[in-house]
Amino acid sequence: MRRGFAIDFSCRAPLVPKLSLVPKLSLGTRLRPCHPLVSTLATTFLFAGLTWTAPPAENPTGVARPESSKDVAAESMAPADKPVEPDHAARMARGLEIFKTHVRTVLEKRCVKCHGGKSVESEFNLTNREGLLRGGDSGPAILVGNARESLLYKLINHAKEPHMPHNSPKLPDESIKQIALWIDHGAPYDEPLAAAKSKDPRDASAWTQKRVGEDARQFWSFQPLKRSELPAVKNQSWCRTPIDRFILAKLEEAGISPNPGAEKRQLLRRIYFDLVGLPPPPEAVDGFLQDDSPNAYEKIIDRLLASPQYGERWGRHWLDLARFAESHGFEHDYDRPTAYHYRDFVLRAFNDDLPYDTFIKWQLAGDEFEPENNFALLATGFLAAGVHSTQITIKEVERHRYDEMDDMSATVGTAMLGLTIGCARCHDHKFDPIPQADYYRLLSTFTATVRSELEINFEAEQYKKARAAFDRDHAPFVEALNQYEREELPGRMAEWEDRQGSLERDFPWIILDYASFRSEGGATFTKQDDGSLLVSGKAPPFDTYTLTAHTNLATEGITTIRLEALADASLAKGGPGRAANGNFALSDFRVAVAPAHAPDKRVSIQLKNPRATFEQRGLPVAAAVDNDQKSAWAIDPQVGKNHAAIFEMEPPIQSDGPVILTITLQFKNNTGHSIGRPRLAVTTQKGMVDLDGAALFQPVLRILATPRQQRDPEQSAMLSRWYRTIDPGWQKLNQKVQDHLKIAPKPNLVKAMIASEGLPPVRLHTQGDDLLKETHFLRRGDPEQKEGVADQSFLQVLMTGPEQEKQWRMDPPKGWRTSYRRRALANWLTDPVNGAGHLLARVIVNRLWQHHLGRGIVATPSEFGSRGEPPTHPELLDWLAAELIRHDWRLKPVHKLILTSSVYMQSSRNDASKNKIDRENRLVWRRPVQRLEAEVIRDSLLAVSEALDAKMFGPGTLDEASKRRSIYFTVKRSRIMPMMQVFDSPDALAGIGERPTTTIAPQALLLMNNPQVRSYARSFARRISTDGAMSADEVVRTAYKIALGRLPNAEELADATAFVRRQEESYAAAGKPENRGLRRELALADFCQILMCLNEFVYVD
Amino acid sequence: MNSPTIFAPPSPVYSSRREFLRRAGSGFGMLALAGLLEHKGLLHSAADAAEAYHNPLAPKPAHFPAKAKSVIWLFMNGGPSQVDTWDYKPELAKRDGQELQGFDKATGFFADQVGPLLKSPFKFRQHGQCGAWVSELFPHMARHVDKMAFLYSCWTDSNNHSPALFKINTGMTRMGFPCLGSWVSYGLGTETQNLPAFVVMYDTLGRGIPKGHSQNWGAGFLPGMYQGTALKPQGAAIDNLSRSPEMTDSQQRDQIDLLAKLNRRNLEQHPDEAELAARIESFELAYRMQMAAPEALDITRETPAVHKLYGLDNSKCTHFAKQCLIARRLVERGVRFVQIYSGGMENQLSWDGHNDIAGNHGGFALETDIPIAGLLADLEARGLLESTLVIWGGEFGRLPVAQKSAKPGRDHNPHAFTVWMAGAGIKGGTLYGRTDEIGHKAVVDRVSVNDLHATILHLLGIDHKRLTYRFNGRDFRLTDVAGFVIQDILA
């Protein structure tokens, strides 16, 4: 407002809502404008907090600000007669006076540094009036003319938190008073505050360029792997493996002697639960105890590592990290019925000992590394496993997409690198050297990544072989046909043509040649030589075909139309319908006609007297012309053959010239029941017309009318293509080809959920796009505050070598659908020299250690940053990581190293004196007692009751009564199986590396009262009492051996047999159940249930 | 900087405390372990156990003296309309039928069904000494306005149910964070060991559960023991509470006795494994809970007068009345946190009045008005209101403009909604904050969800900035990095 007018008008300000505290305005009093603008402004009614945005030219101090979801500023209201106060100008002048003499200094000295100067805290910038009125995160800062109701006043007056100025002394009372007065007088500015003018000119987006210094790499986990010398130890004979030396050295230093070795029986249970998650069967116990060979233990380890149950056990650990689930979460928690393939991939990968670096690469970019390898494609289910809102409003599209990419990055960070990358979303990581900029660069890896369902050809190799064999068999059929076409067909065609007298008589039907054809549902039509259309591609639930054709026949009067539905080998059951059973259901058949010169003048034709080759019961052909879109004509069970229906025109189509016919076929009766190969023909014959009379293709008619010598090659070829469709010899040979084609092998296509780019995303109820074109740097993580496009890179602290991120990038082949960004990420992650590979290796070997020994060398297995615990044995950790890489990243050799160490083979025994020195067993002087996980507890219950169904892989179930291993329970986010949940299985929302182990009463209640558990106990009882001749002692001994891998001692045996006897008597006394055998079974079940509840059953020592 | 968790003193003890949290646990109904185990001589060294274990659900001292011991949160699921319930807007009536110029059509869910301004179909009247305006929907609750502090100026982050539900329950619009009830159980433990610390009740008429399902009462990254126990509407309210029908009480008792004996013998071989001792005790507790929990849920033990007070005799509201009465019985027995959802999942099955706002809200008001008024009266009569904080509200509000429909409804409005609180520590009759003249946006003394949470925690004696939990390397708070206590509504 540089027109010699220094006052900013209060009338631009939001007027106060009707507050009881505000003096009532005298409605209707018209004001004399104090400025040319006022006349318009005065008629603009504004609600409190609703900012009226002045045109730019009139906005002297305005700063542009993006709309924010937190923004309360909003739309103006309909005009209303709201006058400006009569003393407006005078008040503003007074306000300005106060501002200049008092307020400006206070604001500049005490407020502006954080609110518009160095920073803009809470998005509140008071350097000019517009910013003041707009306010910040907490809404408008003032109500013009009403200090008492103004937020700013409340905060500086300490009537409301946060007290301002923040973390510094309260303003002097006089200043507060003056500010209040100023607000009461309209809070005018003469010009923006000084700080705004002299504002630091630094680039607002400087943070996006932030570099991480060399010193940051000094932190232990960012360092390259160190291969240390094996430490010297005194008690060398204790050491079986190099691992033992690392551990023993520290124990000796601390003056702790390692625990003695565990008993053989304990060891066996330990490795069974550790490697396959099941108790050793009694035979295995006997076998091992009797095997005195020096490598008896090693043999069992090898056997268990090679058993398929190893993948079921260790795959579960990885699925915890991958937040694997089979539903979307959020509103509806829709199922992901094809997500289990990722679970199966993980299980197979562990069983096959897929090198860990490949395991990682494929999960991030299997589609980019090996697009032809199903196994690699399925691995990308890792990225797809996170939650996805089933209902995204237009306002949430961006935020949700950033959330989704955050989930991918965060899971990569915690599961693979043990780093909390997600912390850098809103600001530089507070503890680790991960600037916010690195976060967005890494995030951009996933810009185009979407969750998609892909048809995967399982058994592709087998299919290829079978197909080749078929092609070999098929060739002679094709050759016979070709030979016929070369040698016989031309002669026969000539003969046929010579034979023709009246075409009209011999060919009552003229097959229409379509000018256009369209499927509303997006199905694909392919014109066939015989004038039919072959339908393929999309098969929508309901469809409408619209076909048009030109014809001259109307000059003779078209009396009847014929619709054929032809069989075809490409259709299910040979057609003629597209439904899975070969049927169709034509709900509506319509014909309209228009003169060729005036296609818009279309009139409908009445159809009557329909007749058909066959009518399914209840679905007659008449239903196609009854104006009911739901009733229909169908032909089941007469599938796999040609059908036809004819409809008489009422009246016949008569025209002086050519006409356009528009034929509509509707299929709205049954899902997917459209016709697979329709053909239309018309006739000019009057009276009764033959339903399957001979037909001639319309273009052929024209060709036949041309003398043979005058036909061009194209016409001849067309005639030949047509003729053969009616030549009996050709038909016969062709039928043989088609028949043989029916037995062609089909690929085993199965839908699987994967993550990739350029594929159709799984789309739920989203109101906007599924993905964003670019990933931006977001100030404070807010999609409303974008600062440039983030180009892909990785964590600076884990990059060395030339050209930084470029060394892992590669351009995709020309025309390839993905960006290769995930491939670059995977290359960086698995590069132990210049990338993050050394950390990747450390994190995974630590996880192996953690699961085998109860606590990681780094006790925080997913936190390898500065907030995590430092490694207790850094040299050992590096040594194990190096061993992993040396073994070609295979995990099984590392398992074996750990399991055969004296460290692992120690007893679990607690010891008060060692406890005093190392209460938490950081130095690993014992192998602690461990509670089994939820899955292992349930699987063990099933195993001992001999009810376990060992079937592997495939879709899971939500049936609690299922007898399969717990890993095959469907992980539905809103319905985590109660038995899993109560024993601390994860909720699959964020990856976790370590489950809590709680001891809660609901667990006890479950084991005592749950019907499933009770049924396992009864099944266990039946298992041990099959032979009624067995004594109570024998039965109890057997039960102990099955459940605990040992025999009861005398006391236990006495207690147990006494208990069984007592229970049996008590059932007998009650007379329930009547059957003595059943009473015994119940008594035994009561005892078996005790075994299942024992600490010894759920804790492995 | 001091260790931020409420339990833990600073390191180095921290890690062992964390160890305990990770490994020990408890659940609804655990054991004041250290004491118990010592008392029973179950542990070789009770002092060690005391060091290693604290019952995570044992009552814990608050940061400062608490006004509220328990919370009952009456959750009007679906987003009740502020302008049809508590937030009286005469200007809206005046402008009925006018277009709202410049209105952002994407504010609600159905951008293509935006209609003109729509006055409330309900009449408003002033009530109580405070003169609060209440619509005719709530004639019974209106009698209690002097107990309530109204927060007229609440706003939230999302215009969509499940993110908004997650927001108001967990402070985040994303999935996977602990809800308020879980934070409170984690921070304060519970007064009773025989009942869950945190109980949730949802619709019993088969209309579904809130969008986002059990995540609304999930413990997120807190140990699972802190999640809400949702009472099942059909069959047994809590899983596995009744023993197998083929077994008698004494048969089960014998079973548990032998189990304990065998377990104790095993413990002798592992004398310092406190976890094993804890597990022995968990079976005793489970055995007791088989009695205690059904007793607490059994409303037939209440007098006919009480039944009538809650509206159990009124078929329109019997279902909700039962839940309110159970809520009172639960807090009476020391349960820390109770949440009751009114309404089911999909649109018209909850307060989500997209069509026919009059019919929708009219129906749900009938279901809840008498029971809530009864609950307030009953709590007051029993002196429980002094220690119980009662909260009423939904996940967002509704727009002042109509959603077009044969009978007009209202679409979602994240910019304004009303919450009231009553009872422990609340200054009754407080009218706090204000929306604009048509009730579209909160403008005066705006209250964020973080502010609500900070205030509720404050009433429970917890400083929301000091209640933290470390997960995947970060100390999380319910209020993230925000939240201010609303001092003006505190007594």
Asked whether residue A1101 carries a pLDDT value surpassing 60, the answer given is yes
Q: In terms of CA atoms, which chain B residue is nearest residue A1056?
A: B258
Which residues numbered 1061-1090 in A keep a CB inside 8 Å of some CB on B?
A: 1062-1063, 1066-1067, 1070, 1072-1073, 1082, 1086, 1089-1090
Q: How many other C-beta atoms can be found within 10 angstroms of the C-beta atom of residue A204?
A: 11
Contact call for B215 and A1004, based on CB within 8 A: no
Asked whether residue B31 carries a pLDDT value surpassing 80, the answer given is no
Cα distance between residue B25 and residue B21, in whole Å: 6
Give the β-pairing of A603-612 and A588-595.
Answer: antiparallel
* CA A624 from centroid of its chain's CA atoms: 43
- Least confident window among A336-340, A973-977, B385-389: A973-977
Which tokens in the block code for residue A450? 């979407």
Contact call for A1055 and B99, based on CB within 8 A: no
3-state secondary structure chain B: CCCCCCCCCCCCHHHHHHHHHHHCCCCCCCCCHHHHHHHCCCCCCHHHHHHHCCCCCCCCCCCCCCCCCEEEEEEECCCCCHHHCCCCCHHHHHCCCCCCCCCCHHHCCCHHHEEEECCCCCCEEEECCCCEEEECCCCCHHHHHHHEEEEEEECCCCCCHHHHHHHHHHCCCCCCCCCHHHHHHHHHCCCCCCCCCEEEECCCCCCCCCCCHHHHHCCCCCCHHHCCEEECCCCCCCCCCCCCCCCCHHHHHHHHHHHHHHHHHHHHHCCCCHHHHHHHHHHHHHHHHHHHHHHHHCHHHCCHHHHHHHCCCCCCCHHHHHHHHHHHHHHHCCCCEEEEEECCCCHHHCCCCCCCHHHHHHHHHHHHHHHHHHHHHHHHHCCHHHCEEEEEECCCEECCEEECCCCCECCEECCCEEEEEEECCECCCEEECEECCCCCCEEECCECHHHHHHHHHHHCCCCCCCCEEEECCEEEECCCCCCCCCHHHEC
Cα distance between residue A1018 and residue A1084, in whole Å: 8
Cα dihedral sign, B404-B406-B408-B409: negative
Contact B203, B209 (CB under 8 A): yes
C-alpha distances (whole Å) from B446 to each of B85, B321, B395 are 19, 33, 16
Would the pTM of this model clear 0.80, i.e. be above it? no
C-alpha distances (whole Å) from A369 to each of A537, A811, B279 are 29, 12, 49
Contact A291, A910 (CB under 8 A): no
Contact B215, A329 (CB under 8 A): yes
Residue A279 DSSP SS3: coil
Of residues B233 and A478, the one with the higher pLDDT is: A478
Give the β-pairing of A786-789 and A776-778.
Answer: antiparallel
Q: Is A1008 on the interface with B (CB under 8 A)?
A: yes
Tell me, what's the pLDDT at A4?
34
Tell me, what's the pLDDT at A140?
82
Compute the C-alpha angle B263/B240/A1062, nearest 5°: 50
Q: In terms of CA atoms, which chain B residue is nearest residue A1099?
A: B276
- List alpha helices for A336-449, DSSP H: 340-352, 356-369, 374-379, 381-384, 397-411, 436-443
Average pLDDT over all residues of chain B: 87
Cα distance between residue A917 and residue A256, in whole Å: 8
Which tokens in the block code for residue A804? 């930084």
Residue with tokens 């693979």: A416
The confidence band for A780, taking pLDDT boundaries of 50, 70 and 90, is confident
* CA B144 from centroid of its chain's CA atoms: 21
Q: Which amino acid is at B27?
A: G
Average pLDDT over all residues of chain A: 86
C-alpha distances (whole Å) from A605 to each of A212, A593, A596, B11, B298 are 78, 7, 16, 89, 73
Please report, for chain A, how many H helices and E strands are present, in that order: 37, 22
Residues 6 or more apart whose CB falls under 8 angstroms from that of A766 comprise A389, A391, A392, A397
Q: Is B463 on the interface with A (CB under 8 A)?
A: no
DSSP annotation of A418 reads -
Q: Which amino acid is at B14?
A: Y
What is the average pLDDT across A149-162? 89
The kind and range of the H/E element at A699 are helix A698-705
pLDDT tens-digit map of A249-275: 999 999 999 999 999 999 999 999 999
Instruction: State the smallest CA–CA distance between residue A685 and chain B in angstroms.
Output: 54
Cα distance between residue A634 and residue A932, in whole Å: 59
pLDDT tens-digit map of A681-740: 999 888 788 888 888 888 888 888 888 888 888 888 888 888 888 889 998 999 899 889
pLDDT tens-digit map of B299-351: 999 999 999 999 999 999 999 999 999 999 999 999 999 999 999 987 789 99
Residues 6 or more apart whose CB falls under 8 angstroms from that of B414 comprise B107, B155, B156, B157, B158, B159, B164, B396, B397
Contact B454, B484 (CB under 8 A): yes
pLDDT tens-digit map of B155-185: 999 999 999 999 999 999 998 899 999 999 9
Cα distance between residue B106 and residue B159, in whole Å: 9
pLDDT tens-digit map of A348-363: 999 999 999 999 999 9
Mutate to test the interface with A, among B36, B258, B458 (most CBs of A within 10 A): B258
Tell me, what's the pLDDT at A298?
95
Tell me, what's the pLDDT at A858?
96
Which tokens in the block code for residue B106? 């994407």
Instruction: State the smallest CA–CA distance between residue A1045 and chain B in angstroms.
Output: 15
- Across the A:B interface, residue pairs with CB atoms under 8 Å apart total 316
Mutate to test the interface with B, among A323, A425, A997, A999 (most CBs of B within 10 A): A999
A70 CB neighbours in chain B (<8 A) are 157
pLDDT tens-digit map of B72-115: 999 999 999 999 999 999 999 999 999 999 899 999 999 889 99
Compute the C-alpha angle A940/A941/A946, nearest 5°: 90
- Least confident window among A766-770, A1094-1098, B35-39, B222-226: B35-39
A729 CB-side CA count, 13 A: 16
Contact call for A50 and B445, based on CB within 8 A: no
Residue A157: phi, psi to the nearest 5?
A: -85, 0
What is the average pLDDT across A283-287? 94
Of residues A194 and B415, the one with the higher pLDDT is: B415
Asked whether residue B231 carries a pLDDT value surpassing 60, the answer given is yes
Instruction: State the smallest CA–CA distance between residue B481 and chain A in angstroms.
Output: 11
Tell me, what's the pLDDT at A556?
86
The confidence band for A204, taking pLDDT boundaries of 50, 70 and 90, is low
Of residues B369 and A493, the one with the higher pLDDT is: B369
Of residues A136 and A730, the one with the higher pLDDT is: A730
The confidence band for B295, taking pLDDT boundaries of 50, 70 and 90, is very high
What is the average pLDDT across A989-1015? 91
What is the average pLDDT across A528-550? 90
Contact call for B225 and A998, based on CB within 8 A: yes
Q: Is A546 on the interface with B (CB under 8 A)?
A: no
Mutate to test the interface with B, among A985, A1095, A1096, A1099 (most CBs of B within 10 A): A1095
Q: How many other C-beta atoms can be found within 10 angstroms of the C-beta atom of residue A382?
A: 31
Residue A945 DSSP SS3: coil
Answer left, alpha or beta for residue B136, where phi above 0 means left and psi between -120 and 50 means alpha: alpha
Asked whether residue B148 carries a pLDDT value surpassing 90, the answer given is yes
The confidence band for A1025, taking pLDDT boundaries of 50, 70 and 90, is confident
Which tokens in the block code for residue B46? 């009770």
Asked whether residue B38 carries a pLDDT value surpassing 60, the answer given is no
Q: Is A389 on the interface with B (CB under 8 A)?
A: yes
Q: Is B104 on the interface with A (CB under 8 A)?
A: yes
The confidence band for A85, taking pLDDT boundaries of 50, 70 and 90, is low
Q: Which amino acid is at B255?
A: Q
Which tokens in the block code for residue B339? 């949440």
Cα distance between residue B269 and residue B254, in whole Å: 24
Q: Is A922 on the interface with B (CB under 8 A)?
A: no
Q: Is A163 on the interface with B (CB under 8 A)?
A: no
Tell me, what's the pLDDT at B13?
27
Tell me, what's the pLDDT at A504?
67
Contact A1084, A1043 (CB under 8 A): no
Contact B63, B461 (CB under 8 A): yes
Which residues numbered 246-275 in A keep a CB inside 8 Å of some CB on B?
A: none
Residues 6 or more apart whose CB falls under 8 angstroms from that of A131 comprise A61, A63, A116, A124, A125
Asked whether residue A192 carries a pLDDT value surpassing 90, the answer given is no
Cα distance between residue A60 and residue A208, in whole Å: 30
Which tokens in the block code for residue A1096? 């010894």
Asked whether residue A143 carries a pLDDT value surpassing 90, the answer given is no
B161 CB neighbours in chain A (<8 A) are 331, 391
C-alpha distances (whole Å) from A905 to each of A244, A570, A643, A871, B270 are 10, 63, 77, 21, 17
Residue A748 DSSP SS3: strand
pLDDT tens-digit map of A13-71: 333 333 333 333 333 333 333 333 333 333 333 333 333 333 333 333 333 333 343 44
Tell me, what's the pLDDT at A1027?
61
Asked whether residue A515 carries a pLDDT value surpassing 70, the answer given is yes
Residue A564 DSSP SS3: strand
A1002 CB neighbours in chain B (<8 A) are 27-29, 239-240, 286
Cα distance between residue B130 and residue A107, in whole Å: 38
Which residues numbered 14-53 in B keep a CB inside 8 Å of some CB on A?
A: 15-16, 19, 21-30, 45, 48
Tell me, what's the pLDDT at A33?
35
Cα distance between residue A552 and residue A559, in whole Å: 13
Contact A343, A350 (CB under 8 A): no
Cα distance between residue A86 and residue A26, in whole Å: 9
Tell me, what's the pLDDT at A354?
97
Which tokens in the block code for residue A910? 């607690």
The confidence band for A77, taking pLDDT boundaries of 50, 70 and 90, is very low
What is the average pLDDT across A195-213? 66
Asked whether residue A847 carries a pLDDT value surpassing 90, the answer given is yes
Contact B281, B46 (CB under 8 A): no
Of residues A1005 and B23, the one with the higher pLDDT is: A1005
The confidence band for A612, taking pLDDT boundaries of 50, 70 and 90, is very high
Mutate to test the interface with B, among A414, A434, A1000, A1078 (most CBs of B within 10 A): A1000
Tell me, what's the pLDDT at A196?
54
Tell me, what's the pLDDT at B188?
92
